């Protein structure tokens, strides 16, 4: 199944690369404030779904642009797809974006692919089988002192509900670490944590397709992933914290005092709903 996901990601990468040569010709529409979608996002998604459905016609799909499709009734397998993660970078000609494909089996993430078509970096993972960058095993970093650590993040730009709480976290993390980066593709950011390039990462307001593949890649590289309270409801809440095990705990402690009432209520509600569904 991983091979099929890699094939789908590479095909989508070809579509994206081709389009990146003629950005001026693209049809772009606005989904909401600061939320753009181009015909490339849609074409890449159609191509990925085509490859996956040809191989596995009875699997379910959750994809950013077309939503839920396939066998939604009783499928044990669900593919979670972000055809182009980092659309804003793509539209501005900044070569930091990716294709992200994950597979859930009976509710657990099982396979993951994050592909950067600009430099051909392919991050993959299978549950219990480790994480790889271009077929070489990767591990999270060993750094433990926060002053040596490079932390990735995403700055809120669409939904600004939690911007105050986010900025308080940001202010508290800056003086403790070696640096903070905001490159603009959450799937790649998470893969960079897995590869030991960043030591940790946090963001508020993501969707399941931004995080699903990257989070399995981190776990298989020996890292930890959770929501901002450290629980495993990040795919549902959209609040994510990740890192090597030591940095994960340090970041949890730094962030804790800044969890606003709204953020905590949101996480509790998500946990409650998850308990009911499970
Ligand atoms: C976005 C990117 C970005 C993150 C946003 C995401 P998109 O995905 O992952 O890094 O900060 O929250 O929505 O919209 O380009 O697929
Ligand atoms: Ca995305
Ligand atoms: Ca996207």
Per-residue pLDDT of 89-147, as tens digits, reads: 999 999 999 999 999 999 999 999 999 999 999 999 999 999 999 999 999 999 999 99
| 22-32 mean pLDDT | 78
Residue 120 confidence (pLDDT):
98
Q: Is 83 in the pocket of ligand 1 (CB under 6 A)?
A: no
Helical (H) or strand (E) element with 105: strand 98-105
Residue 35 confidence (pLDDT):
66
Residue 272 confidence (pLDDT):
76
| 23-50 mean pLDDT | 83
CA–centroid distance, 249 to ligand 1, in Å, is: 25
Instruction: Write the CB contacts of 206 (distance below 8 Å, at least 6 apart in sequence).
Output: 154, 186, 238, 239, 240
Q: Is 199 in the pocket of ligand 1 (CB under 6 A)?
A: no
Q: Is 184 in the pocket of ligand 1 (CB under 6 A)?
A: yes
CA–centroid distance, 128 to ligand 1, in Å, is: 28
The position carrying tokens 């980092």 is 86
Lowest-confidence range among 34-43, 224-233, 268-277? 268-277
Residue 161 confidence (pLDDT):
84
CA–centroid distance, 85 to ligand 1, in Å, is: 6
Pocket test for ligand 1, best of 153, 184, 192, 242 (most atoms within 8 A of CB): 184
Structure token digits, residue 270: 């998500």
From residue 165, alpha-carbon distances to 1, 150, 171, 204, 234 in Å are: 40, 21, 10, 10, 17
Q: Where are the alpha helices (DSSP H) in 21-151?
A: 39-55, 87-91
Residue 262 confidence (pLDDT):
66
- Contact by Cβ (8 Å): 3, 55: no
The share of the chain scoring above pLDDT 90, in percent, equals 81
Residue 161 is classified by DSSP as T
Per-residue pLDDT of 161-199, as tens digits, reads: 889 999 999 999 999 999 999 999 999 999 999 999 999
pTM: 0.94
3-class DSSP state for residue 259?
coil
pLDDT band, residue 33 (cuts 50/70/90): low
Question: Got the DSSP string for 162-212?
Answer: THHHHHHHHHHHGGGSSEEE--S-HHHHHHHHHTTSSSEEEEES--HHHHH
- Smallest Cα–Cα separation from 77: which of 49, 111, 43? 111
Per-residue pLDDT of 240-259, as tens digits, reads: 999 999 999 999 999 999 98
Contacts 24+ apart (CB under 8 A), 194-197: 194/123, 194/125, 194/131, 194/138, 194/140, 194/218, 194/220, 194/221, 194/223, 195/123, 195/133, 195/138, 195/221, 196/138, 196/139, 196/140, 196/141, 196/142, 196/221, 196/244, 197/141, 197/150
Question: Could you say which ligand is closest to the alpha carbon of residue 94?
Answer: 1
| 150-155 mean pLDDT | 97
pLDDT band, residue 28 (cuts 50/70/90): confident
Per-residue pLDDT of 54-87, as tens digits, reads: 999 999 999 999 999 987 777 899 999 999 999 9
């Amino acid at each position: 199944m991983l091979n099929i996901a890699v094939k789908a990601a590479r095909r989508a990468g070809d579509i994206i690369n081709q389009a990146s040569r003629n950005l001026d010709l693209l049809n772009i529409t606005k989904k909401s404030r600061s939320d753009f979608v181009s015909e490339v996002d849609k074409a890449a998604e159609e191509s990925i779904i085509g490859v996956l459905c040809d191989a596995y016609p009875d699997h379910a799909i959750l994809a950013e642009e077309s939503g839920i499709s396939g066998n939604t009734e009783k499928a044990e397998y669900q593919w979670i797809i972000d055809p182009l993660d980092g659309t804003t970078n793509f539209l501005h000609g900044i070569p930091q974006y990716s294709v992200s494909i994950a597979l859930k089996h009976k509710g657990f993430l099982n396979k993951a692919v994050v592909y950067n078509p600009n430099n051909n970096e392919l991050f993959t993972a299978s549950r219990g089988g480790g994480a790889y960058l271009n077929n070489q095993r990767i591990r999270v970093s060993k750094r433990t002192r926060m002053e040596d650590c490079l932390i990735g993040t995403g700055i809120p730009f669409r939904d600004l509900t939690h911007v105050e709480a986010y900025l308080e976290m940001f202010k508290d993390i800056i003086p403790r670490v070696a640096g903070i980066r905001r490159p603009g593709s959450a799937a790649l950011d998470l893969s960079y944590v897995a590869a030991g390039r960043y030591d940790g990462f946090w963001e508020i307001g993501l969707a399941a397709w931004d995080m699903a593949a990257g989070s399995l890649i981190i776990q298989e590289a020996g890292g930890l992933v959770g929501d901002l309270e450290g629980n495993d409801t990040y795919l549902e809440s959209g609040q994510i914290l990740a890192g090597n095990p030591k940095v994960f705990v340090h970041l949890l402690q730094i962030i804790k005092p800044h969890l606003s009432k709204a953020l905590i209520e949101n996480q509790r509600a998500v946990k409650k709903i998850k308990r009911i569904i499970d």
